[in-house]
Amino acid sequence: MPRAARAGSDHPVLLDPPAAPSALPRTVAPMRPRLAAEGFNSPDHLFELKWDGIRAIVSNDRSGLRIVDRNGGDLLPAVPELRSLRLPDGALLDGEIIVCDSRGRPNYDLLVGRLGPKASKRGKGPLFVAFDLLYDDHQPLLGLPLEQRRERLAARALAQKGLVVPEHLENDGEPFLDVVAEYELEGVVAKRRDGRYVPGGRSADWLKCLVSPRADVVIGGLVLDERRGARALLCGWMNDNGALTYAGEAYVPPYLGEWVDAATRSFRTDGSPFLGPFPLRPGMVWLRPKLVAIVDHESVERDVLVDARFRALRFDARIDDCRNEEPVEVPEYPPTGGLDRPRLIVMHSLPFKFE
C-alpha cells in the first residue's frame, strides 16, 4: 500500500521495493526411508516406486542449475545430458537419477557404468525422477505435509525431456509391491500423507518395502582366488561408536572377480579394519573401510548376512549409513482394490514403455 513517507526520512516513498529473492541452499541432505518388515496397506500412506538409481537434489536459482548427490557432490559433469533441464527460478526438487534397461526398467548397474573411467553409454537415459518439491518460488515447503508438497509438484507441470514426475498410489501398498515384483523392479516406498520433510533424517514416516532383501555394507576385505580374482567380500556394519563390525561374506560372481580385485587394490592395508579379533585364512586381504557395496541376501541372523551376493559398488556411498536395519512393523489394513490400479500406476510411472 502506498506510504506518504518512511519514518525518519525526509523524502516520500511511494512503494516499498520488493525484496530480492534469496538464493536457494546449495543442497539439502535428503530425507531417507527406514526398512519396513514387509509390504502393507494403509490409508495414512502414499505409495511410490522405489527407483534403482542415485539420489539427487536438483535446483535452479540466480546461480543456475545445480544437480548434486546426497553428499553435496556435483553430478552435472557425470550427467551432462541433464544440463538442458528447465526449472522455474526458486525451485528445489528431491529425486533420483536413473538409467533404464532395454525393457524400460531402472537399472543401477547401467547408470554406474556411465559414471566410471570407462564410461559406457548403454541404456536409456539418464533421467531425473522428481518425487518431492522442497522449495517453490524460493519459499521452503519442508514443513508442509507430503500430500500438499505432491500437489504443488504436480501443479508445476515440470515433466519434460529428461525429467519425470511419477504417480503414486493410495492405500494399497501390498498389491502394489506384488505388481512391482511382477515387473522385476526394486520395491516400493511408503510415505505418510501428513509427514513433514526432515533433511538428513532416516524416518519411519518413509518406509522402503523391498521385493528382495538388499543392504549397503562396508567392504573390509576380500577373499582372493588366483584364477578368478575376488571370490568373496568381507562385509561390515558401522556401530553407534563408529567401529566396523563383521557382517559376514558376500559371494562375488566369477565374471566380476577380476574387476573387484583391480578396483580395490589402492585400498589394501596390512591390518583388519573390523572390531575384535578376526581369523585368517588363505587368500584373505584387508581393505581400508572406504568402499561401500550393495549386496543382495536372504536374511540377517544375529547381525550376519545369510547367503549374500555382491551386486555393485555404491557410487554415492557414506560408510556411516551402512548399518544393520531393524525392520519397522506397521499396522495392517485390508486392500481396497485389486491389481488393476497398482499396475496402471507402475505403467504410468515408468518413463519408457515396459516391454
- What residues act catalytically? 50
Strands 124-136 and 91-100: antiparallel
All cell numbers assigned to 208: 522402503
CA-to-CA distance for 148 and 158, rounded, in angstroms?
A: 16
Residues 6+ apart with CB under 8 A from 64: none
**DSSP 8-state class, residue 72:** S
All cell numbers assigned to 176: 502394489
With CA atoms as reference, report the closest residue to 273 among 285, 260, 289.
Answer: 289
Residues 6+ apart with CB under 8 A from 20: none
CA-to-CA distance for 112 and 116, rounded, in angstroms?
A: 7
Is 324 in contact with 303 (CB distance < 8 Å)? yes
CA-to-CA distance for 20 and 18, rounded, in angstroms?
A: 6
CA-to-CA distance for 308 and 286, rounded, in angstroms?
A: 19
With CA atoms as reference, report the closest residue to 313 among 111, 123, 29.
Answer: 111
